[in-house]
Structure 1
Amino acid sequence: MSPTAPRPAPDPPITLGPGQAARLLDALDPDQREVAEHLEGPLCVLAGAGTGKTRAITYRIAHGVASGAYQTTQVLAVTFTSRAAGEMRSRLADLGVPGVQARTFHSAALRQLTYFWPTAIGGRRPEIQPGKAPLVGAAARRLGLATDRATLRDLAAEVEWAKVTLTLPEDYAQAAIAAGRTGVAGIEPATVAQVLALYEKAKTERGVIDFEDVLLLQIGILLDREDIASQVRSQYKHFVVDEYQDVSPLQQRLLDLWLGRRRQLCVVGDVSQTIYSFTGATPDYLTGFTSRYQGARTVRLTRDYRSTPQVVSLANQVLARSRRGGALRLPTGAVELVAQRPSGPAVRFEAHDDDVSEAQGVVTQVQRLRSAGVPLSEIAVLYRTNSQSEVIEQALASAGIGYLVRGGERFFERQEVKRAMVSILGAARTEKESLTGDLGADVRMVLSREGWSQEPPAQRGAVRERWDSLNAIVALADDLAQTRGASMEAFHTELRERADVQNAPTVEGVTLSSLHAAKGLEWDAVLLIGACEGLLPISLAEGAAAIEEERRLLYVGVTRAREHLVISYARARNAGGRASRKPSRFLEGLWPKAEAPGTARATGKGRTGAKQAAADFEASADPATLALFEELRAWRAVAAKERSRPAYTVFADATLRDIATVKPTSLPQLSLIRGVGAVKLQEYGGQVLAVVRATAPGE
């Protein structure tokens, strides 16, 4: 029997050692602990960005194993990307639970389909068509339609949407009209429906299946063969689904069949990060979870451990459609984040004359951040469309700054990485006597033969890129040795497993990424470009639902930043062009009110740092925040007079601005703000919180 297929006799539970279950729980905050302690029955976790959702669910699985409630081979954790699945497996291994299956929907379904095909269907499973374009092109040609690249891409997207929403070709036209998907590539829905039917016929004629068929066929087997369904359900008894807001009707149908009549399901998601509706994903299963599973518990993770209060405050305000009574009006099911990190730098807003000027502004910010000690690998430039990256690439290359484009050449497909993995495996097998047992030192010794050196080369370009790749492997070896220890052979296994799911280690260089591709990632500094009408929201977005998805996309971009966040746009596309662009509607009331042409608001040019910070705050803060700041200043004046002290000795203006921005609701949260020490917290903390509550009720 295949080791990845369901097993009738599960392995015995892993013993993590006495008291390990309690120690696991001690590492969690109260909300995360509530997730980890809920081991039986349906559980819905509404987890905001940066709130530690992966930590909560991996500790939940480890706690279940440690307490004897779970057996590792009876748990299936499902997520949406191979990278996320690989990260989950790695975290579980670090917790001493290496046997849990963590896979994407497609990977789990494919393994089951491959295993059961000979029994359920007979013969060998058909090959999977790697891309839809050739078959879509064949179908389009039979109808006399255009077969240019853009048309085939759009038609292939419609094929995928129809299949993941369980829409048959004969039902497509009506469903597409209802979903607002009319006029795809200038083709009427009825004609697109014909393309779908001919596409399915072409697959049958060639004897291949596509990626959606993997799930569809496995669903068919589970429906038709109760014996196979029982075997799967006897294997997997506990399910965890991450990023549940992105589930499609097709995936939900498979999940329902995996579960059968059982209710051992934990789902984790964030409706505020629903950005794939155009592919058929829907948050309805997340928001309707408690209706589908009566008695289900809901836990909300709101403590944001990723970002500074300044970033968190902006994220909450971007997500809110409006304010009512001073409180944010968030979408249904959305989580209002509560910052847990100390206060950080103000969010910067920059307006530039044209795209080239904006790209040069990116270079300036990267240089500033690098001078301040931020590694290039912790800086990202995010944009709405991939076409925006070209001018940024040119500017960075001209400045001699290394960069990586997400979606470009994959790390494990680089020749130097392939050679490095071969060398590491060879050393593990043939040089055991010369290895020291110090993984980091041994990997350095082996990779020095491949061109790695202690210091990076002075050259840029290909030479530096090769060194960066090898250095990323060295850094990963150091991390692995520190977290759980590993031999050279075990390290090669780790690299091979990462290659399988494209979970690349960190490479030194600025990351360039679309907002969609950035989901699930984070950096110390984020430069978010093109924050203007026509790009955010993109001009193609029509209707309220599409606009709100664009809002969520900006929210995702903002919440990728841990500490530094710069948001910019260009007034015109080309130099000398008409300055017709305006800041994004999602930043209305947040973008600086006054800006002179060709200037960037947060650069501090011509002003001292304190004056610039005050001007930035006054220009960008919303009315409620400005009102709270003035109330805090009035309270400070009274407090200072009562104690016969200068006002600044109570709290500096900078501290009051941060308090007004963050709007703390507890003493621990207030203590995170710069300028609020233990003595001032004890003396003024209660009074400050009272002012916040009185001026900003509901915050």
Structure 2
Amino acid sequence: MSEKSSATRAPSAPAEPARLLAALDDDQRAVAEHLSGPLCVLAGAGTGKTRAITYRIAHGVATGAFAPTNVLAVTFTARAAAEMRTRLRDLGVGGVQARTFHAAALRQLSYFWPQVVGGGLPRIAEHKASLVAEASGRLGLGADRLAIRDLAAEIEWAKVSLVTPDDYVRAAADAGRPGAAGHDLTTVARLLSVYEDAKTERGVIDFEDVLLLTVGVLAEREDIARTVRQQYRHFVVDEYQDVSPLQQRLLALWLGERHDLCVVGDVSQTIYSFTGASPRHLTEFGRTHPGARVVRLVRDYRSTPQVVQLANDVLARAGRARSDAAVTLVAQRPNGPGVAFEAFDDDEDEARGVAARIGDLIRRGVAAREIAILYRTNAQGEAFEQALASAGIGYLVRGGERFFARREVREAIALLRGAARAVDPDDELPQIVRDVLAGSGWEAQPPAARGAVRERWESLDALVKLADDLFAQRGAGLEAFVTELLERAAEQHAPALDGVTLASLHAAKGLEWDAVFLAGVCEGLLPISFAETPEAVDEERRLLYVGVTRAREHLVLSYARSRTPGGRASRKASRFLDGIWPGDGVRGVPERARRRARAQANADALATGEADPEVFAALTAWRADLARATSKPAYTILHDTTLVAIATAKPRTLRQLALLRGVGAAKIEAHGGAVLAIVAGERPREALDGGA
């Protein structure tokens, strides 16, 4: 059950505990220092949650609180798991299991299956389509490709929700599910049963069965459960808001009666409820694990204040739908360009306009791979593909052909494996990889041609850049590089390619770019037209929030008034942007427009250097902490305009502070000492104790 690290990828020496903690902010440090008992981390977008939990594991290993092989870190994508392992290795920590729920369960199930059942584990069906089609045919339903897809999705929902065919009608009705592919609940329930029969007859299991069978083994065989619990004593679960009932059941069996569990999540990024995910496990963590420590990560290191403000505004308008567990982000980066809003005549016009803006960014030095176009439905992507191609801008569609399935990539790995047996030990990895791939057509400069020739070069160049990164970070040699590639291929953890990314909002979760274009931000697309219940609309709002928070610096929101050229201009900006979209004519906009004008004036003061950005950031962070501690709106403590005035004047005495607009006697008495301490570069520890 234990995992051995490759000798060719030995991690660097573990960092000293003090050095690890010194690299974190106060909230991240609180996560890293909590090494025993339940811990719930409410982490906003861009707040360094992966950093916090990897440093927590590294700190636990460095202090002797954790043995690496006793730690199981679970996340939801192979890419995220690989990223976690990479970070741990860079911190000098090897041997930690960082896997997806399915990968961890499959490893355990494969190990124990001969002991429990005998023989080898049944083959896992790569796709459900043929099985669903067979079940549908047996029932005389008939189904096209789209119907098969919808039925397969409904089967997955039932299984991860622990719903059997006999219970489906009741459970689906309670969940407000209308059936699938035009079939009523009773018909879908029959299909579920026949689907299971078809699997049994073929002697295969599906993706969800890996979790179900592991749950069954651990629940029925106490000896095996005891073995697993002896192996894994400390658990970390990332993206905990996306846990399904089935995954939660497996986690509970891994834990047994123990509570050494750290969960990390953001209720504002719950966008997979339709698949069975539920934030309830995150919001009710304290009830399940009494005495749990709760730490909020609110400092956003990813995005500029302009992007962070929009993200906060989108959530603030959720009203009562917003969870108490949601965090309000506090920007840590310097000011950037303002968020842009654009309305176009039609979809083609929007695609051309976005492509033109992207071309301008690239000419100004923004790398194409640091730019993304995000949209609600995959069908929207075609117009942007055409517009980018016409503009001569390279792009890649996330969710398209897998990187490691490309012929040139497979050939390159084979060449590198062969070269590893005869490499000169004095040669460094970057040069070796360049020499080997030069024989496959790689050159230092990209080809002028586009299409297949350029795509082949970009694939090889991505391998070259990855070799550069691994050599710089770890001093890796060719054998270690080949091992890295093989692991990444198994996990589909592709390196970054040099092209504009096209992706749906769902596919973009967990990623980030310097520039993001959110397209089609209008009624009917965001929220999508079939989001009819309040819960569904709330999830669409969270989807917009996820899209906004993918941007580091440049953010453009756009929509087309008409779908086709010359069509009726019936579309309107998304309701989620009421009071935000400039000149949208929504009731109450004049006052909101005045607030935006004041916010822009504040931003201008910071951008022109009149206000000290570090003082402003420190004041903003202090105010946010105090607002949470006292359950007051932040603006009632000190208004943004007042914070800018303080950061501009930088008063040294209470008398100087009192001269500033927005600072009266009551504010002086309540917060004067804390404000002066911040201006002086000190931390006002007493502020949260005595502030009112």
Shared fold (TM-score, shorter chain, > 0.5): yes
Equivalent positions of 1:549-564 (< 5 A) are: 549-564=539-554
Asked if the contact 2:78/2:491 (under 8 Å) is kept, the reply is yes
Say whether residues 1:372 and 2:364 are aligned partners. yes
| Shift in alpha-carbon separation, 1:143–1:478, aligned structure 2, 3 A | same
Q: Give 1:331 shift.
A: 2.8
Do 2:14 and 2:93's aligned partners in 1 also have CA atoms closer than 8 Å? no
Q: Where does the alignment leave 5 or more consecutive residues of structure 1 unmatched?
A: 6-13, 596-617, 634-647
Q: Measured at CA, do residues 268 and 316 of structure 1 come closer, stay the same or move farther in structure 2, by a change above 3 Å? A: same
- Distance in 1 between residues matched to 2:78 and 2:352, nearest whole Å: 35
Distance 2:598 2:332 in 1: 24
* Alignment TM-score, normalising by the size of structure 2: 0.87
Residues 421, 391 of structure 1: alpha-carbon distance in 2 compared, 3 angstrom cutoff: same
Give identity over the alignment, percent: 62
Decide whether aligned partners of structure 1 residues 302 and 470 sit closer, same or farther in structure 2, where only a CA change above 3 A counts.
same
* Residue 27 (structure 1) aligned to one of 7, 20, 23: 23
Distance 1:527 1:575 in 2: 21
Question: Which residue is 2:559 aligned to?
Answer: 569
Map of 2:650 onto structure 1: 682
Counterpart CA distance in 2 for 1:364 and 1:579 is: 23
Looking at structure 2, the residues matched to 125 and 17 of structure 1 have their Cα atoms a distance apart, in angstroms, of 39
Partners of 1:117 and 1:241 in 2: how far apart? 25
- Structure 1: how far apart are the matches of 2:94 and 2:659? 48
Q: What's 1:243 paired with?
A: 239
Return the offset for 1:228: 0.5
In structure 2, distance between residues paired with 1:593 and 1:676: 26
Report the counterpart of residue 204 of structure 1 in structure 2: 200
Find the partner of 2:340 among 345, 348, 355.
Answer: 348
Report deviation, 1:663: 11
1:334 aligns with 326
Distance 2:476 2:151 in 1: 48
Kindly state the Cα deviation for residue 627 of structure 1 after the two structures are TM-superposed.
Answer: 5.6
**Partner residue of 1:474 out of 464, 468, 481:** 464
Structure 1: how far apart are the matches of 2:242 and 2:606?
Answer: 45
* Cα distance in structure 2, aligned partners of 1:357 and 1:171: 49
Map of 2:291 onto structure 1: 295
CA 253–688 in structure 1, closer or farther in 2 if over 3 Å, else same: farther
Offset from partner CA, 1:32-79 (integer Å, 9 cap, x none): 000000000000000000000000000000000000011111000000
Residue among 350, 353, 361 paired with 2:353: 361
Secondary structure of 1:353's aligned partner: strand
Secondary structure at 1:480's aligned position in 2?
helix
SS of alignment partner, residue 665 of structure 1: helix
Structure 2 residue aligned with 1:422: 414
Question: 2:544 and 2:663 mapped to 1: Cα distance?
Answer: 28
1:307 aligns with 2:303: yes
Secondary structure at the aligned position of 1:513 is classed as strand
Specify the alignment match of 1:146 in structure 2.
142
Report the more deviating stretch, 117-126 or 249-258: 117-126
- Kept in 1: contact 2:50–2:84 (CA 8 A): yes
Aligned length: 640
Q: Does 1:65 align with 2:61?
A: yes
Aligned to 1:612: none
Which residue identity does 1:248 align to in structure 2? S
Per-residue CA deviations over 1:285-317 (Å, capped at 9, x if unaligned) read 000000110000000000000000000000011
Secondary structure of 1:524's counterpart equals strand
Deviation of 1:368 (Å): 1.3
Q: Does the Cα contact within 8 Å between 1:46 and 1:335 map onto a contact in 2? A: yes
Taking structure 1 as the reference length, what is the TM-score of the superposition?
0.86
Tell me the residue number matched to 1:611: none
Which amino acid is 2:436 matched to? V
Q: Is the 8 A contact 2:242 2:270 kept in 1?
A: yes
Give the partner amino acid of 1:544: P
Q: Is the 8 A contact 2:335 2:606 kept in 1?
A: no
Equivalent position of 2:576 in the other structure: 586
SS at match of 1:281: coil
Query: CA 1:395 to 1:627, structure 2 compared with 1: closer, same or farther past 3 Å?
Result: closer
Contact 1:515 1:553 in 2 (8 A): yes
Task: Work out whether 1:177 is the aligned partner of 2:173.
Answer: yes
The residue that corresponds to 1:644 in the other structure is none
Shift of 1:183: 3.9
2:377 matched residue in structure 1: 385
Q: Decide whether the 8 Å contact of 1:355 with 1:391 is kept in 2.
A: yes
Contact 1:358 1:569 in 2 (8 A): yes
User: Superposition pairs for residues 35-434 of structure 1, below 5 Å?
Assistant: 35-321=31-317, 330-430=322-422, 432-433=423-424
Distance of aligned partners of 1:3 and 1:33 in 2 relative to their CA distance in 1, 3 Å threshold? closer
Q: Residue 206 and residue 63 in structure 1: after superposition, are their counterparts in 2 closer, same or farther (change >3 A)?
A: same
* 2:443 paired with 1:453: yes
**Distance (whole Å) between structure 1 residues aligned to residue 596 and residue 609 of structure 2:** 13
Quote the offset at 1:185 in angstroms. 1.6
Output the amino acid matched with 2:469: D
Q: Which runs of 4+ in 1 moved over 3 A?
A: 2-5, 14-19, 618-630, 650-656, 661-664, 666-670, 675-681, 683-694
CA–CA distance in structure 1, aligned partners of residues 591 and 490 of structure 2? 46
CA contact (8 A) 1:330 1:336 kept: no
Partner-residue secondary structure (3-state), 2:650: helix
The amino acid across from 1:425 in the alignment is R
Tell me which moved more, 196-205 or 547-556: 196-205
Of 512, 522, 533, the match for 1:522 = 512
**Which whole-Å deviations, capped at 9, do the CAs of 1:545-568 have from their partners, x for residues lacking one?**
000000000000000000000000
Measure the CA separation in 2 of the matches of 1:686 and 1:152: 68
User: 1:124-172: CA deviations, max 9, x gaps?
Assistant: 2111111112111122122221211111111111111110000111110
Q: Distance in 1 between matches of 2:317 and 2:645?
A: 35
The letter for the 2-side match of 1:364 is A
Residues 4, 436 of structure 1: alpha-carbon distance in 2 compared, 3 angstrom cutoff: closer
